[in-house]
Amino acid sequence: MSFFDFSSTKTRYYHHGRMRVEGGILPDAITAYRTYGDLKNPCVVFPTCYGGGLDHQGYLIGPDKTFDPEKYFIVTFGLFSGGESSSPSNTPAPYNGPYFPNVSYQDNTRAQYAVLKHLGVQKVHVAIGFSMGGQQAYFWAVMYPDFVEHYVCNCGSARTSDHNKCFIEGPKSALLASKDFDNGHYSSPPQHGLRAFARVYCGWAYGQTWFREKLYLMDGKYPDLSTFMRGEWEASHLSWDANDLVTLFHTWQTGDISQVRDDGDLAKCLGSITARGLIMPSKTDLYFPPEDSEYEVSCMPNTAKLVVIPSVWGHFAGAGSNKKDFQFVRDEVTKFLKESEAQALAQAQAQT
């Protein structure tokens, strides 16, 4: 599976100036983004996930992928606290490190909307994302109902469940309690905390079948489970800023579209969504299990479609981690958009 060549585009930075966010004020909030394709084409909004940067978004972009830049205008966004947009690691004092304010999905979506208006986008054809990006797709549909036509939540949810919050407390607590985290005032990367964080996280990332079938050996790349955890998980998380990880977890942990409106009534909020939605959980996801998605779609019988990814790859089934799941997601999203567009055309013709 080839990935899109990102050499044709560069990361750009939109300066919002003074911006109020959930936890206070950012004196110069910055949103990092990239664009692909021509503005005249239907717009696709594609925010990043937890631990994912703009370079990771290539699994959906390209001539043989879900969104061809020749047919769509694709805008990828870095989430606040993800290390590219405003984050604890790149914000000047006195808002740096542990002093960085909490940021919500609502804050991210408002900021990204400002970027789209700056670019001249008149309508979002589809807001799509994986994991945290999938949760944000829901926020797009709720916050800007007249601006968004479709949304795709890939291995995410409309509200972070209590079970999901419990998972988050595991790796977060391992990091916060480490001897070198120093309440966020570390002067060098807190390796003890980051390694513990990665190992706790790893156990939840894949389905039980994935581990039972020893897919962590990666076709001979790793000789055993311990080497896999060190080489694949510790290695990847040691490059992250610890305060970024903690504050980004807050965004994930507090995600709930019913807090945008409807005073916490999730069913009512879901039922009010007018954009057409495709909800795609993984059969073996331990963060966002399909049962949560089944409930959400039951609240949207006329506007949303449920498609479960039949995968043993757990949460990562939706992230282009293997060829079979990548093709399944690509084909289902393509089919959903074609069906929705045909339905909209038929309705328009019936009204004329």
- Residues with a known catalytic role: 131, 285, 315
Dihedral in degrees, nearest 10, Cα atoms 271, 273, 277, 281: -50
Report the C-alpha gap between 260 and 255 in whole angstroms: 10
Report the C-alpha gap between 299 and 54 in whole angstroms: 33
Q: Which two tokens stand for residue 127?
A: 């807001």
Q: Give start and end residues of each alpha helix (H) in 229-322.
A: 235-237, 242-253, 266-271, 290-298
31's enclosing H/E stretch is strand 24-36
Phi/psi at 75 (5° precision): -120, 115
Report the C-alpha gap between 89 and 190 in whole angstroms: 14
β-strands 43-47, 276-280: how paired? unpaired
